[in-house]
Structure 1
Amino acid sequence: MISLVLDIGNTAAKYGCFDGAALAEAGSVASVEELRAVLRRTQATHVLLASVAVPAEEWAAALVGEELEQVLVFKPGTTPVPLTNAYATPQTLGADRLAGAVGAAYLLPGRPVLVIDAGTCIKCDLVTADATYRGGSIAPGLRMRLQAMHAFTGRLPELPLPAAAEASQLALCGNDTRTAMLSGALNGAALEVNGMIASYRVEYPALAVVLTGGDAAFFESRLKGRIFAVSELILLGLHRILVLNVG
């Protein structure tokens, strides 16, 4: 079976094309027209759409007329998933958070896993060893931190996020306003995530940590202990959900 999953986020719509269980291709699309082109080129027959931005139903409706056997919209509150969802308000749970948890439970079965998704927001989500999604935390992402300092003050400048190479050399003690802001945003976020990991490890000594998301490169060398970096974690989780729901 050739299948395609689409993760519609706040900054990009990322797709993964699977040939059986193997991820054959991944990329991003900016419109339904581009998605149609990918579908025709890959000859995918089953599609799962998930979104934390615009309603995924809008993309699904636009695929009417394509030669597809099944088009599914992932809804965390109602769509069956291959783990137990203990979130108190599943209807408000982001599709990306649950998909990441599914992907982590699939890759590291039988042990507690903390998923660090560093994107528009920094999300830390826990899956326990019994394959139960427990929830987690949501905090401002790196760009959001920099933008907030500019938006809520009178004199701090608006700074772009630096390239990963520059960020890796960022000193703890900034010696001008720019480097002080970057240190607060980047080093502060890394210390925050390390603190989260340390706190979870007190309760779950066998905890594994999986890092994903568009800003993962900023954290990979800054997090303590062994970290599994899986860039396509959410796509993998969405594919596992699709396989479970294929009728």
Structure 2
Amino acid sequence: MRSVAIDIGNTGTKYGLFEEDVFVEQGYFQEKDQLPAALQQQTFDHAIVASVAQDPHAILTRLSVTGKLLELTGQTALPFNNLYKTPQTLGADRKAVAAGASYFFPGRNCLVFDAGTCITHDFVDSTGTYHGGGIAPGLNMKFKALHTFTERLPLVQRTENAYPLTGQTTQESILSGVLAGTVAELNGLIAAYAQKAPALVVILCGGDAGFFESTLKGRIFVIPELVLIGLHRILVYNV
């Protein structure tokens, strides 16, 4: 079975190609309503398309699929027990990371951080039950918010993983507030979940995963392709 998983995000679109259960190739393109030529020239046995940004209809209609063509919606069957109180509002990316975590770590308590435009955390327990989590601004969003909603604070961009704990200039203070503050936020969440979930597995994905891998406490599993692999697990569950 040759299949494709497509994730339409806030800043661009990622895709992953699978041969049976093996992840063989991934790609990224900026457009949210166009397929790159590499995908338009292929025919797939099955495909799944998920979007947190817009209606995926334009991409769905451009895919050549002989079998199951699945759009991930609030009605899609999921390979885990979902306790979210409003399942129709649960983001496609959060469903995907829950499916991916359950696949990689069956029988384990998992806390997943997806550090992208937003930073989400999602908790799946050892029985494969998804409980929910949280949504917070991502690093770049925090930097932009400080500049946009104040009169004089500059727009600061992170250029490396190092940051001061105590800022001695305005720029350093913003770096400390955003970076040290967010690291403390995530470490606090890990500690809180670890108290209620024995042998907690902490998983990172998203564009800023590399930064948090080097700054968070304890053992962290970084799985950059977690969303795409999770989408593929949802597709396999529905075929």
Question: Residues 102 and 150 from structure 1, CA distance in 2 versus in 1: closer, same or farther, beyond 3 angstroms?
Answer: same
- Could you tell me which residue of structure 2 aligns to residue 72 of structure 1? 70
Map 1:212-223; keep pairs closer than 5 Å.
212-223=205-216
CA distance in 2, matches of 1:158, 1:41: 42
Work out the number of aligned pairs and report it.
Answer: 239
Question: Residues 68 and 159 from structure 1, CA distance in 2 versus in 1: closer, same or farther, beyond 3 angstroms?
Answer: farther
CA distance in 1, matches of 2:155, 2:31: 29
- Could you tell me which residue of structure 2 aligns to residue 209 of structure 1? 202
Matched, 1:181 2:179: no
Q: Aligned AA for 2:151?
A: G
**Unaligned ranges ≥5, structure 1:** none
Counterpart of 1:151 (choices 148, 152, 159) is 148
Deviation at 1:58, TM superposition (A): 3.4
Deviation at 1:120, TM superposition (A): 0.6
Matched, 1:56 2:53: no
Counterpart of 2:135 (choices 122, 138, 143) is 138
The answer on whether the counterparts of 2:114 and 2:120 sit within 8 Å (CA) in structure 1 is yes
Deviation at 1:59, TM superposition (A): 2.1
CA RMSD of aligned residues (A): 1.6
Question: Residues 10 and 233 from structure 1, CA distance in 2 versus in 1: closer, same or farther, beyond 3 angstroms?
Answer: same
Q: Which moved more, 1:26-35 or 1:149-158?
A: 26-35
Larger relative helix fraction: 1
**Unaligned ranges ≥5, structure 2:** none
CA distance in 2, matches of 1:32, 1:182: 31
Identity %: 49
CA distance in 2, matches of 1:127, 1:102: 9
Q: Tell me, what secondary structure is at the counterpart of 1:35?
A: coil
Deviation at 1:69, TM superposition (A): 2.9
- Could you tell me which residue of structure 2 aligns to residue 44 of structure 1? 44
Deviation at 1:216, TM superposition (A): 0.6
Q: Tell me, what secondary structure is at the counterpart of 2:61?
A: helix
Q: Which moved more, 1:95-104 or 1:38-47?
A: 38-47
CA distances 1:88-128 after superposition (whole Å, capped 9, x unpaired): 00111000001001000100000110001101111110001
Using the size of structure 2 for normalisation, the TM-score is 0.95
Matched, 1:82 2:79: yes
Deviation at 1:34, TM superposition (A): 5.6
CA distance in 1, matches of 2:108, 2:36: 39
